[in-house]
Amino acid sequence: MGTNNVQAHHQTDQLEIDYEFLPLLRVYKNGHVQRLMGTDSIPPATDPQTNVSSKDTFNIVPQTEVYVRIYLPNNIVTNYHNRHRKLPLLFYIHGGAFCISTPSSLKYHNYLNTLVAEAQIISVSIHHRRAPEYPLPIAYEDSWAALKWVASHRNYGPEPWLNSHADFGRVFVAGDSSGANIAHNVVVAAGVNPELDLGLDLLGLAVVHQYFWGSDPIGSESLDPERKASVDRLWPMVCPSNPDHDDPRVNPMVDGGKSLVGLGCRRVLVCVAEKDTLKDRGWLYYQSEKAQVLIKRLAAFFNRDMPPLVR
């Protein structure tokens, strides 16, 4: 009878919810995390629609689940005359509120297939460890480690596609939503810590529907209290070690946006969605940087009638 009671209690504990962050995930008191979105997975392959080849490479951060998916136009892979052709390199970080999705998710896989085909570039898309099991700053550290891994191919690294086809003098860093936040912080780290010396020429940063926030509401953020309350919950969940919404990693405008001056790239592209709750943060990011850095370095796009990507 005692054993049955213990088993019943254990089963109840397994089903007992600790907290939810809907519609993204549910966390149980036994520590199990149930992801409700972004769980689909597409294997790497040659895409028949775009004629882009992809493959996964592991052991980026030893003894972790971190991996990268590399994309290359198939005409570069199969054409003997292109065997040493160098292409601009895009280092991409997916979104998903730091806690869902991977480079293998259908929307990201299809997006990068299309982008690589249209732009004729090589792309490295990173899967970082995700919150809440791995809270921030782990995603920042994983992304930095992956960018360093890419940079190691300047002197002939383990990945032949990068050795043969990546132009390390034309490197771009990009991401959407939480991935845009990581991309921004990676490029800031490259700029304010020159001793880190990636040895890459970071030509540009692209932040798309970026996840930035702050303690004090701006613009239209107060118009939807329910949505604001939901966004308010995200940062403390993914970064419990410093839940302050004015942490400069989530609010780059704090202290007048001083970190933006040290961005370690030449140009910045900012994309903002009209119906995104965070649109005012993206617009402020654009305007503040525009005031502090040469205007020629930055462009902005305002996507009208567009909802946001999943944070």
CATH 3.30.428.10 holds for 39-303: no
Largest Cα separation within the chain, whole Å, is 75
Cα 295 to its chain centre, rounded Å, is 25
pLDDT band at 311 (very low <50, low <70, confident <90, very high): very low
Instruction: Label residues 198-215 b or e (16+ Cβ within 10 Å = b).
Output: bebebebbbbbbbbbbbe
What's the pLDDT score for residue 180? 98
Least confident among 75-89, 110-124, 137-151, 238-252 = 75-89
Question: Can you give the pTM of this predicted structure?
Answer: 0.91
Higher-confidence residue of 135 and 292: namely: 135
Residue 12 has pLDDT above 50, yes or no: no
Task: Tell me the pLDDT tens digit for each residue of 177-228.
Answer: 999 999 999 999 998 887 777 889 899 999 999 999 999 999 999 999 999 9
pLDDT at residue 86, rounded to an integer: 95
Q: Indicate the pairing of strand 67-73 with strand 52-57.
A: antiparallel
Query: Per-residue pLDDT tens for 85-140?
Result: 899 999 999 999 999 999 999 999 999 999 999 999 999 999 999 999 999 999 99
What percentage of the chain reaches a pLDDT higher than 90? 72
Q: How many residues does the chain have?
A: 311
Q: What is the mean pLDDT of residues 240-260?
A: 92
Q: How many CB atoms lie within 10 A of CB 195?
A: 4
Q: Where are the domains of the chain?
A: 1-36, 39-303
Q: 177 an active-site residue? A: yes
- Selecting among 177, 220, 230, 241, the annotated active-site residue is 177
Full DSSP string of 209-259: S-----SS--TTGGG-HHHHHHHHHHHHHH-TTS--TT-TTT-TTGGGGHH
